[in-house]
Amino acid sequence: MAKTKTVYEDCDILVIGGGMAGTGATFESRYWGRDLKIVCVEKANIDRSGAVAQGLYAINCYMGMQWGENQPEDHVRYARNDLMGLVREDLGYDMARHVDSTVHMFDEWGLPMMRNEETGRYLREGKWQIMIHGESYKPIVAEAAKKSADKIYNRIMVTHLLMDESKDNRVGGAVGFNMRTGDFHVFRAKAVIVAAGGASHIFKPRAVGEGMGRTWYAPWSNGSAYALPIAVGAKMTQMENRIVLTRFKDGYGPVGAYFLHLKTYTQNGNGENYEEKWYEQTKELVGEYIDHTPVPTCLRNHAFIEEVKAGGGPIHMVTTEAFQDPHLETVGWENFLGMTVGQAVVWASQDIDPKYTNPELTTSEPYVMGSHATCSGAWVSGPEDLSPPEYFWGYNRMLTVDGLFGAGDTVGGSAHKFSSGSFTEGRLAAKAAVKYIRDLKDEEIKVSDKQCENFKEEIYKPLENYKVGRNEITAGTVSPSYLLPIQGLQRLQKIMDEYVGGVGANYMTNGNLLKKGIENLKILQEDLENIGAEDLHQLMRAWELKHRTLTSQCVAEHTLFREETRWPGYYYRGDHMKLDDDNWHCLTVSRRDPKTGEFTLEKAPLYHIVD
Ligand SMILES: Cc1cc2nc3c(=O)[nH]c(=O)nc-3n(C[C@H](O)[C@H](O)[C@H](O)COP(=O)(O)OP(=O)(O)OC[C@H]3O[C@@H](n4cnc5c(N)ncnc54)[C@H](O)[C@@H]3O)c2cc1C
């Protein structure tokens, strides 16, 4: 390690992850903190990083308050309904009241927005979605961040948060390594905003072997947004609330524009409407929630999963009617070309022309994220004008570690933010972080060289493990003393799939399975001490796996704690198959003790601040 160069960067605000939330945070930090030093560090390159890397065809969260289309209260009701009653309404309202201003900036910055020719308003795809020509969405927001930051570091994977040694429970920055040069980077910062996206590939994906990596959620999103705060003892919420998506089979192409704009619909293998068949059975499980409009996303998944289990598959999207209209046919294809080119390629390779063949749908493997139709993530303070005392501790979007803020997928309890809401939440977190720094006045952060050196040794250990361990191989590639990142990843995915409710188990788990899964995850954690990395890319894979594993432990602990099936269609607790509002109309909050690695869980009250 002595040969590895260490690069120090001292700053006021450090933004980890330059995706939608990170670019929003970087931009807004400069707005409020003209004199502050602002640094953004990104694992890939912010021009094409994160879940929006390929572009999007719709901005899924826009109120349209200027035209009286929707109000923030409406959005809170919508998200609450979709999440079966459980959201942080203070956070959702706060995001919704600001999100339109974010979208207006995107428009000013040159994002091509589609317009309704008759009204001149943004063209609606659905009640909340507006349509864009969004192939260049990400480079556009990246430009705003680049113009705002003192420095953007690309190709650096952040592996650990640093802690201030002069005060208990306060963040002091972060460390990571450059995946091209191998340099060790130390960022000492007064405030840190974690915006590192959600987690794919913690459950075994449907696509394995040659198709591995073909998932709905960005395969490079590895749960750092959760692992970094969990490792320093920050509290997390609703981590059991993983998401399963109904998407076009094999390419995971989006269905939103198809349902909402093209008015396509689904049917089973015999051409029947299967959703109504499962109405009574679903009502038995969740009661009146099935009668809500719109039907919560998880319950629509539930009907799909039940129908397939009952032998009614394959489930098709009926496209052949809509595609007779040349305009809708164009929209249908453009939808993929703007954000999921792979789906068009899959159809071409399988001889599917949706004008003549109704394509198959599937339900995905579960993912963990905080900004889509799900709300796993960190337990954060809300805004002071809205949040009840249990949800407020000084600074908006600050985690339970002082000076540590979150936005986008990082933040739990606030679903349906999507790209625009995540950027908005980054802005909200940044404004609060600037205030936090101003309030610190001259107080310094203390991070010793020893703390940094210890991390340095730990970070590069997989390279050392490989270098030494490969000498023990007498034939083939399997080492007696290290495991490779791909082997560890497959083991993690198998554990999560079989014990924590993945596709292989039809999303089913129970207390006994979860306890065994948690035990196996602990053993995996121990074995990851012996992970080997042959080069810097594999070193990144090793750390991605470590972050995925810590995230998975948290997911499993939460799933064990909540003794009900709140979201059938996302997962099932076989030993508690019914939704139980008497005991579980609450949020779950966990904390992992950084010294012992043990999790403790508690219930947190759920406040309805909107009627
Ligand atoms: C398949 C898919 C389709 C979607 N479709 C739409 C849509 O049509 N409309 C819409 O409005 N929204 C859509 N969304 C939602 C939207 O993309 C997300 O809400 C948004 O990107 C979340 O922002 P974020 O900043 O939290 O995460 P991201 O935008 O994913 O950014 C996270 C960033 O952190 C970086 N990072 C990760 N780990 C580290 C680390 N250890 N160190 C440094 N950097 C790190 C990543 O490289 C990435 O750049 C979609 C999401 C997905 C996954």
pLDDT of residue 2: 58
Ligand 1 atom nearest to CA at 21: 25
Sign of CA dihedral 277, 259, 247, 64: negative
Task: Supply the DSSP symbol for 65.
Answer: G
Residue 1, pLDDT score: 60
| Rg value, the chain, Cα | 23
CA 547 to ligand 1 center in whole angstroms: 16
* CA distance to 49, 234, 245, 383, 601, per residue, from 590 (Å): 30, 9, 25, 21, 4
Question: Omega into 294 within 30° of 0, i.e. cis?
Answer: yes
Query: pLDDT value at position 213?
Result: 81
162: CA distance to ligand 1 center in Å?
Answer: 24
96-133 tens-digit pLDDT: 999 999 999 999 999 999 999 999 999 998 999 999 99
CA–centroid distance, 551 to ligand 1, in Å, is 17
417 Cα nearest atom in ligand 1:
19
pLDDT score, position 527:
97
Cα–Cα distance between 97 and 264 in angstroms, integer?
32
* The token pair that represents 376 in the structure block: 């796993």
Nearest CA to ligand 1 atom 51: 51
Give the SS3 label for residue 527. helix
Quick one: CA torsion of 403, 407, 412, 415, rounded to 10 degrees?
160
- The Å distance, Cα 570 to ligand 1 centre, comes to 20
Q: Would you tell me how many other CB atoms lie within 10 Å of the CB of residue 467?
A: 13
Q: Which of 422, 427, 547 to mutate to test the pocket of ligand 1 (most atoms within 8 A of CB)?
A: 422
DSSP-derived pairing of the beta strands 246-248 and 361-363: antiparallel
How far away, in angstroms, is 201 Cα from ligand 1 center? 15
Residue nearest to atom 20 of ligand 1 (CA): 419
Residues with CB under 6 A from ligand 1: 16-22, 41-44, 49-52, 56, 58-60, 157-158, 195-197, 216-218, 220-221, 224, 371-372, 408-409, 417-420, 422
Strand partners, 591: 600
- From the list 253, 337, 246, 330, the residue with the least C-alpha distance to 295 is 246
210 φ/ψ angles, rounded to the nearest 5 degrees: -65, -25
Could you tell me where the DSSP H helices lie in 470-576?
485-499, 511-527, 536-561
**pLDDT for position 477:** 81
SS3 content of the chain, % helix, strand, coil (to 5): 40, 15, 40
**Exposure string for 220-257, b = 16+ CB within 10 A, e = fewer:** bbbbbbbbbbbbbbbbbbbbbbbbbbbbbbbbbbbbeb
CB 605 within 8 A of CB 586: yes
Question: Which atom of ligand 1 is least distant from the CA of 544?
Answer: 41
CB environment 36-59: b (16+ within 10 A), e (fewer): bbbbbbbbbebbebbbbbbbbbbb
**51 CA to centre of ligand 1 in angstroms:** 3
Ligand 1: centre distance to CA 19 (Å): 6
Which numbered atom of ligand 1 lies nearest the CA of 158? 42
Element of type H or E holding 6 = strand 6-16
Which residues is 247 bridged to in the sheet? 362
The protein residue with its alpha carbon nearest to ligand 1, atom 29, reads 19
Whether the model pTM is above 0.75: yes
Report the alpha-carbon distance of residue 87 to residue 96 in Å, rounded: 13
Q: Tell how far the Cα of 50 is from the centroid of ligand 1, in angstroms.
A: 4
Q: What is the pLDDT of residues 498-513, one digit of tens each?
A: 999 999 999 999 999 9
128, 131, 419, 544, best to mutate for ligand 1 pocket (most atoms within 8 Å of CB): 419
Residue 378, H or E segment: strand 377-378
CA pair distance 422, 407, nearest whole angstrom: 6
Q: Contact 57/65 with Cβ under 8 angstroms?
A: no
Name which of 275, 269, 278, 270 is nearest 313 in CA terms: 269
Q: How far is the CA of 582 from the centre of ligand 1 (A)?
A: 35
Q: Which residues contact 362 (CB under 8 A, 6 or more apart)?
A: 206, 246, 247, 248, 249, 250, 315
Q: Give the rounded distance of the alpha carbon of 263 from its chain centre.
A: 28
Whether the Cβ atoms of residue 320 and residue 260 lie closer than 8 Å to each other: no
Q: What is the pLDDT of residue 392?
A: 98
Q: How far apart are CA 565 and CA 579, in angstroms?
A: 5
Q: What is the pLDDT of residue 335?
A: 83
**Residues of the chain falling short of pLDDT 50:** none
